[in-house]
Amino acid sequence: MLTTCGLVGYLAITGAGAQSASASVHAVKKTTTTTRRTTTTKPPSTTTTTKPPVTTTTTSTTLPPVVSSYVIPLRGIDLDDYADGTSIAALTPEAATTMNYIKSLGANSVSIAFPIYTASLTSNTISLGATTPTPADLNVLIAAAKTNGLSVALRPLLNETNLRPAWRGVLAPSNRALWFTNYLKVMSPYLALAQADKVPTFQVMSELESLNGDVHVKALLAGAAKIYKGNLQIVSSWGKTGMIATAPASFAVDNYLPVKVPPTAPVSYLVTGLTSYLKQFKWPVPATKVNFAEVGISAQDNAYYFPSVSTLFAGNTVLNPQVQVNWFKANCAVVRTNKMLGISFWAIDFPGSPTAPATLANPSRFSPQAAQEISYCFSGR
């Protein structure tokens, strides 16, 4: 909790236990019963028994100088694609509208996440589901992205419906060799699509912390490389575990690091907290080769404590778009100051209107103010 001294820049660095308590990082998907993000209704306490001891770092109020001349190379938007039965004919104009909007924000890239499934934490099976888009569905999005000059990353993301209250980062398959074999089998058609469509990046493992360092990762990458010749990438979460990128994979981070400040905190407090992250966690590659694959937060009070929570906290009856704005501004400043490779903001739902704003039912969508801040980030303001 915050001290009685007021705005003290405490940074909560949490590991897998904290991530398990918050379940995960991904947004509630439309009106389906399948969800991608936690349904926690209040900010978890730092004293909860489900979390390891919290390491706190008192930070200064000094705002690190922004490298104003630095143009972020990879300026992206994350697209959350859950199939809903929409036909290819209907998807085509929707894809065009969505990619045109992403381009209008000043983005030059789009990461397309799509769900895959497993039966339980210990299961060795990987499967597609009713909401998994087909390669043909994704081809429509890829084509629309190319038309708008957007670089594309494809991102299979393990859905957590069958894993609650745990999350994908603590998977413990009973037979890891079999799990990786099955995983590659399910990925193969999508890797083939990426190769055929010349997709620059395939984010082959995302937030699979407990498996990132497994000996079978090399075989997975070798098998994937036989199908797809582009950039294979491993995406880690923001905790201390999983910061591994087995060669030849590149490395990215989903940044939902909690910063323990109130909603009235200035951007400088967020920047110093996030900057501490770069200093305390050892990445496998220099910051200049790392991109934030996801940066997202709900437009509500107390969200800085757990940016990964997308549902409305108990007691909140109105949105606070400034929380989203300041979080995006701070993350952009960190990326620019450290000359990182890129940043991608989470997320736009597809199918659906790309401009659908944050609501009490879905506070993690981009508020109009946050969308404007994304444009500022991409333009260097």
Average pLDDT over residues 321-331: 98
Q: Write out the two tokens for 133.
A: 């888009």
Give 69-128 as a DSSP string. Answer: TPPPSEEEEEEEE---S--HHHHHHHHHHHHHHHHHTT-SEEEEEEEEB-SSTT----B-
What are the structural domains, with CATH classification, of the chain? 9-379 (3.20.20.80)
Q: Which of 18-32, 73-87, 260-274 has the lowest mean pLDDT?
A: 18-32
Give 141-167 as a DSSP string. Answer: HHHHHHHTT-EEEEEEEE--TTTTTS-
Give the pLDDT score at 317. 94
Q: Which of 36-45, 119-128, 242-251, 351-360 has the lowest mean pLDDT?
A: 36-45
Q: Is the peptide bond before 347 cis (omega within 30 degrees of 0)?
A: yes
Give the pLDDT score at 68. 59
Q: Is pLDDT of 165 > 80?
A: yes
CA dihedral 91, 92, 96, 101 (to 10 degrees): 0
Q: Is pLDDT of 308 > 60?
A: yes
Report CA-CA distances (Å) from 266 to 257, 262, 327, 352. 17, 9, 10, 33
Average pLDDT over residues 194-206: 98
Give the pLDDT score at 363. 96
Average pLDDT over residues 141-168: 97
**pLDDT tens for each residue of 25-74:** 333 333 333 444 443 333 333 322 222 222 233 333 344 445 558 999 99
At residue 278's C-alpha, the angle toward residues 150 and 47, to 5°, is 110
% of residues, the chain, pLDDT over 90: 73
**pLDDT tens for each residue of 95-131:** 999 999 999 999 999 999 999 999 999 999 999 999 9
Give 309-341 as a DSSP string. Answer: B-SPPTT--S--HHHHHHHHHHHHHHHHHTT-S
